[in-house]
């Protein structure tokens, strides 16, 4: 069975902030049966949960905080309210600080193991979403491999294929390497070899990467071979549309991405 298509709602954050309900309704009308929230601009988690239920769409994953520390129960309760199965971090808790040495990556892996144990008690799983900087070498070895070696396979890795390609890696090989961890993948496209510079920025939902240009494009119109990647996504349940930014009409780009991924039998729409 083909993976189900979903959308990382960070893509439409500006539209959602102006009209959350209208934006989600438009996404549902496109054929999306799943969404991946990253905060709730212009709304609240309670309102979003009701809206999703009313529209018959699900949120099998989200980007949020790890369920550790004093807020762990609150984070888990919110995931359960929304019906989330996979709790993915958009960035690790201390961002690039975790990638200074092999030991700091291993210490980060311990946090994900702790979070995984807390989540498992409620039937949930945690996972990691990559950029390009966390795929670079650390102490002579790709940093992500310390993470994989020091976490069980039940800790997922949500590979973002644009960032994988930008890091100089082959998305097909990367999907095969992460194996059963790759239950969710971001099929992001764009101009990989752009000279754009990406830097950290603080938002109310945490740190993100921002660019001095917009290399992201609708699926199928950039330099990432999404069709080849789709052919090896044997362990994948959900494939996400995502554009960090776009110089044109974002909703049109989302629709074009949906059409490309579904008509090329990479993912299926609402079932």
**Number of structural domains in the chain:** 1
pLDDT tens, position by position, 4-45: 999 999 999 999 999 999 999 999 999 999 999 999 999 999
Measured CA to CA in angstroms, residue 246 lies from 10, 16, 155, 238 at distances of 12, 15, 31, 23
* In 161-203, beta strands by DSSP E: 184-186, 189-190, 198-203
Q: Using a pLDDT cut of 90, give the percent of the chain over it.
A: 87
pLDDT tens, position by position, 157-198: 999 999 999 999 999 999 999 999 999 999 999 999 856 555
pTM to 2 decimal places: 0.92
45 located within any domain: yes
Longest dimension (CA), the chain: 51
- Distance (Å, whole) CA 167 – CA 28: 33
pLDDT at 50 over 60: yes
19 located within any domain: yes
pLDDT of residue 224: 97
Residues spanned by the domain of 104: 4-263
pLDDT at 209 over 60: no
271 located within any domain: no
Reported residue count of the chain is: 271
36 located within any domain: yes
pLDDT tens, position by position, 248-268: 999 999 999 999 999 999 999
pLDDT of residue 205: 46
Task: Work out the average pLDDT over 229-235.
Answer: 97
pLDDT tens, position by position, 93-149: 888 888 889 999 999 999 999 999 999 999 999 999 999 999 999 999 999 999 999
More confident residue, 14 or 199: 14
Secondary structure class of 160 (helix, strand, coil): strand
pLDDT of residue 93: 86
269 located within any domain: no
270 located within any domain: no
79 located within any domain: yes
- The enclosing domain of 23 has a CATH number of 3.20.20.150
pLDDT at 213 over 80: no
- Asked if 241 and 8 count as a contact pair (C-beta separation under 8 A), the reply is yes
* DSSP H helix total and E strand total for the chain: 10, 13
């Amino acid at each position: 069975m083909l993976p189900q298509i979903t959308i990382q709602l960070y893509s439409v954050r500006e539209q959602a902030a102006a009209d959350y309900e209208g934006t989600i309704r438009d996404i549902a009308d496109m054929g999306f049966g799943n969404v991946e929230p990253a905060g709730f601009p212009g709304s609240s988690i309670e309102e979003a949960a009701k809206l999703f239920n009313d529209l018959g769409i699900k949120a099998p994953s989200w980007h949020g905080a790890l369920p550790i520390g004093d807020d762990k129960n609150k984070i888990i309760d919110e995931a359960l309210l929304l019906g989330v199965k996979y709790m993915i971090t958009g960035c690790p808790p201390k961002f690039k600080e975790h990638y200074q040495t092999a030991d700091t990556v291993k210490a980060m892996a311990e946090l994900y193991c702790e979070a995984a144990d807390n989540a498992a008690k409620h039937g949930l799983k945690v996972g990691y979403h990559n950029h390009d900087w966390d795929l670079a070498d650390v102490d002579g070895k790709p940093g992500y491999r310390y993470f994989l070696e020091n976490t069980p396979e039940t800790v997922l890795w949500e590979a973002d294929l644009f960032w994988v390609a930008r890091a100089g890696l082959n998305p097909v090989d990367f999907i095969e390497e992460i194996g059963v961890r790759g239950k969710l993948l971001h099929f992001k496209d764009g101009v990989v070899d752009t000279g754009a510079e990406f830097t950290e920025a603080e938002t109310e939902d945490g740190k993100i990467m921002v660019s001095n240009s917009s290399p992201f494009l609708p699926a199928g119109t950039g330099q990432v071979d999404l069709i080849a990647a789709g052919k090896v996504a044997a362990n994948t349940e959900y494939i996400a549309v995502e554009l960090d930014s776009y110089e044109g009409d974002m909703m049109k780009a989302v629709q074009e991405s949906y059409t490309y991924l579904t008509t090329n039998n990479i993912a299926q729409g609402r079932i």
